[in-house]
Chains A and B, each alone.
Chain A
């Protein structure tokens, strides 16, 4: 289908973009890579009167070293995340997640920031952002603010970014040398996660010193598997120890029931996939 008509602006400065978002148009939408928004417009599930394209803003794409963290511009594409050495070295989990998202064409256009703000509960990046304790920089009419990942995803398709704001960058603390793995369960190529588990661990001589696990599609937003993390810290990185901790992966979850599976099936999957993700991340 063809989208409903809208006006279009492609600002070349953040100030201009923010002014457009605060204009008196009935409904304004930000356009990043368009890989979620354009299909939504085509299906006429949304009909904004003004679309503000971030594609011509300078400085919103790319990854740079920021001391103890890497700073990822919101317009950095999924494909860039898979190829950027700073990401594979300091946030390996993110590179691994990006590799599983959609297909090459979509990864060439889709952006990290767009995927986070879209906040599809089946989207793969929010779980990784949680597991890596990322911090989002959001700018709005009253200036910039930062929001930790743990407070960013508020509900289905809803985040801390309000309609007159733009997500500009994501700060990911360096997880250099951490083991990591994303275990994504889906029916066929290119499909969204039925359940996904993003795990990252820091080992010292075979002992789990730190461990963080993010779950995709196990609630209305991505969530951390806190019970698993607590049980595993300080333990030896061994398959039976991991298997026992992974049994807690469904604690406190409220997954959806849909055509791909019932809630209790997803809770079963969460345990199995958490075990696999952690065993791979630990290399044991």
Chain B
């Protein structure tokens, strides 16, 4: 096979905006988001798809964007941490993390928030154990899990009160 590796055209919606781009098939979704679209809010924390810091929503479900190729997102919808605030208002999960002081260095936070939103969508009334289990794919090197769990439980309680 020759040296000219094929580029592939993808159409993907990211944070509500439609993009059409030529990408190399080997490009990871996380690199497409960061390097092509400049959405550096989604971060890379590992080489093994363990840490969860790159978590985004693909068609409404959480995925690790370092374990998805950009070409696999063709025709699909991606929401990143940069797309959840509405009209300058923080998303309720962002607000809960802020209010519960659920971050230290903040590196794991985008992934934690995106996974926490997915968690509550699947289980709106979780126990503490459910929250810990639901976040098992997200590592915090600052080990601030206590306040992270508190934030998710607070967000769940707030949503329940508003219902």
Contacts and interface: CB of A to CB of B under 8 A. Distances in A.
Query: Most chain-B CB neighbours within 10 Å: which of A4, A8, A35, A49?
Result: A8
Contacts of B115: 104-105
Interface string B38-62: 0000000001111010010010011
Contacts, number: 100
Contacts of A39: 47-49, 67
B69 A34 contact: yes
Contacts of B62: 104-105, 108
Contacts of A31: 69, 72
A4 B26 contact: yes
- Which of A3, A7, A79, A105 counts the most chain B CB atoms within 10 A? A105
A104 B1 contact: no
A229 B48 CA distance: 38
Interface residues of B, number: 38
Interface of B is mostly: mixed
B6 interface: yes
A40 B33 CA distance: 21
Nearest to B6: A7
Given A2-B26, A38-B69, A104 B48 contact: no
Interface residues of A, number: 34
B25 interface: yes
A29 to B, nearest CB: 12
Contacts of A10: 71, 74
Interface string A28-62: 00010011001101110000011101010000000
14 contacts: A3-B28, A8-B6, A8-B71, A26-B1, A35-B49, A49-B1, A53-B71, A55-B72, A104-B134, A104-B137, A105-B63, A106-B49, A108-B61, A190-B136
